Structure 1
Amino acid sequence: MLLTLFAFALALGLLVTFHELGHYWVARWCGVRILRFSVGFGPILARRLDRRGTEWALSAIPLGGYVKMLDDAPEQADPATRAAAFNGKPLAQRAAVVLAGPAANLILAAILYAMLSLWGVHEPVAVLAQPPAASVAAQVGVQAGDTVLAVDGRAVASWNQARWQLLEPLTSGGAVTLTLRAAQGAERSLRLDLPAQALSPDGPDPLRAAGLVLQAPQPRVGAVSPGGAAQQAGLLSGDRILAVGAQAQPSVQGFVQTIQAHAGQPLVLTIERGAAQIRLQVVPAAVTADDGTTQGRIGALIEAYQPQTLVRLGPLDSLWAGVRRTWDTSAFTLRMMGRMVVGAVSWRNVSGPVTIAEVAGQTARVGLEAYLSFLALISISIGILNLLPIPMLDGGHLLFYLLEALRGGRPVSERVRDAGLRIGMSLVFGLMFLALFNDFSRLFR
């Protein structure tokens, strides 16, 4: 629980503070006077005044921060103070200051994704399981052991990349071409015509519904007991089980059940040891289980092995990959929002602070790579959300500036601004209520 709260506070504090730093940097560049920059909200715990007259503060509630600018100069202000007021700046500069916050979040996401690509991330190899007979994948000839090499001509190095590339065509429908490598090594391309599928946290996985499922972890030999059937058969720690008897690509559970059902009976195992495939014969020893039945045992610990690949790029490729991943995620997020508006995607996909905190804790437990990926995704969400043309948000201010530009530089009247802010407040509070409702519905269902 403490880790979840810490991970959530760190994520929100870092991302919101970086958002506000975007406003701060561009405002300074435009000559706007910054009165205060606070890390956190609420009572100020510590403060320092810099040479420009900006107060840097550390506040008690570590859930973000804010930047306070000189919006309007006092009536008796000198010309320099008037020139430093935000509302006295040209329209282009005001728009740049407002746009800088969401842009900072998108830039941060690209940097985090680039760091992960440069550092290298271990991800599952995109080896597919046998699809159900009635699925789209089975009908076009996808087989167990096929490895996904590309989606619509775009190379994928792992299952995570394949899932991401398939998510859009699966949810919107249409044709997609998979480049596959069979277990025997031959490559081929298959065209799948996918119906549009609903995307809902309570619904089925669109990939699974299409028959595209990652191969279950394979059985691998762990510790081998001296004198046991496994040692007598020549099994070594690290051997991967490719087949047991007539059963190819068995799951860990399937392999154990087969061994248990063949007490005293010879079984042929096909194993992978390094780059070689070897066939061995093992005779499971007959033992009496706790329930009184006779079961087979081979005297070896069987582990679950999921083939992994290290996805790592060079500096320039990592930077490009970070930018492209941020762009793709932003575009997908906007498309999903549009589909929510027209009812094509469930509103139950909207998540609030409870779900975000839960995922923050989960990714922090998994490791730094997962947590940084989570930070990048939430940073994109904050950036996109703030760009929506809703008064109260940065996008709402940009909307007013656009209207000002269309009116030849005449600002929108205070009456229109007030009405827009009331509408925007209603929309934001409605969205917050929906997110919290979805959060608690997931907790108590």
Structure 2
Amino acid sequence: MADIKVPELAESISEGTIANWLKNIGDYVNQGDYLVELETDKVNIEIISDFSGKITEQKFAEGDTVRVGETIAVVDESEENKPATVNEPQEKVISQKPVDDVGKLNPVTEKLEKQEDGNQRPIASPAARKLAREKGFNLNDVPTNDPLGRIRKQDVSSFQPESMNSNSISKVEKSSEKVNSTEASKPIIYERMSRRRQTIAKRLVEVQQTAAMLTTFNEIDMTAVMDLRKRRKDKFFDENEVRLGFMSFFTKAVVAALKKFPHINAEIQGDELLIKKFYDIGIAVAAAEGLVVPVVRDADRKSFAEIEMDIMELAEKARTNKLALNDLQGGTFTITNGGVFGSLLSTPILNGPQVGILGMHKIQLRPVAIDKERMENRPMMYVALSYDHRIVDGKGAVSFLSKIKELLEDPENLLLEG
């Protein structure tokens, strides 16, 4: 028997949550096969099997928390389990009730037989347990036609809570006892927070408790940038095979402004300031399980096309859950664009330990005074800079934001600043 353990993940990650078992008990795995998907604070990681053999035990179900070094599965490397029994159905393994040379049941059968006594939790597949948690069902209440009493995903899917007897109270009903009588009869759904959402919540609260955070605002006339994009977008795409978006302009403007105001590209370490002379810009991306901030490395050394390609690749990784830890670590400043969702104005929260974050917003036509006599409708964007007042004074923050406004309202200057 060989133990499959949670490997070292990263310096800052000591545990994770089992998101999905890719192999089931009774399946044959080869060395190097993906075994389980683990959800960590930042990314999902697929753990491989270091051994070849049949999976005889899964020590944790989907949704359970596991720590680095813990055994999560057991693989039987015996010769009799080699390819002839690859992917053999679990029911067959159980029904045969194989014994070893001292007459004891093998680990799979022994575990299930013990559970049939009713003294342990119900026999259920990991997928069934996950679905039951999501629906708020008690597995003891779910009927099954399986001769061994094993509950499968389809049993949970077809289960109707109305069929429960008066002594079977669901998790939702138990929880509803905590609310007052007026609310008790109203529909409530309890949804477990993902590990990533828990981490986001924890870190945002930590930032607000540890940083002296303030926000300053300005507005940018986007006419020049939009005209430049309109004139150059086709040629830009033909030459670079990537579209010219707003993010490359803002990234370039941020880098130029950070060079003028280096304390906004710093962090606090103890009683010292760590002023960074490199420019790794985090770009906030809305992924399915919550906001992530992948990093465009050395943005000061990259062209508009290289920045757009990096952003496109990182956004695709975020959408497909393929971001690596290295993609998320080490940013010096962050840009977030709530405007793509229609936000007109907001106060972004710092991405600690960084001391500055720029919030972009929706471009909206507004009347602007050109001079004393003329008014024009211009495409305007509100921008917000949240900063840590422990390092950055108001004058520096306002000047930083004014520099970004100046560069974007005359975007040819970005070439000179770059």
Normalising by the residue count of structure 1, what TM-score does the alignment of the two structures yield? Answer: 0.24
More RCO (CA 8 Å, sep 6+): 1
Normalising by the residue count of structure 2, what TM-score does the alignment of the two structures yield? Answer: 0.25
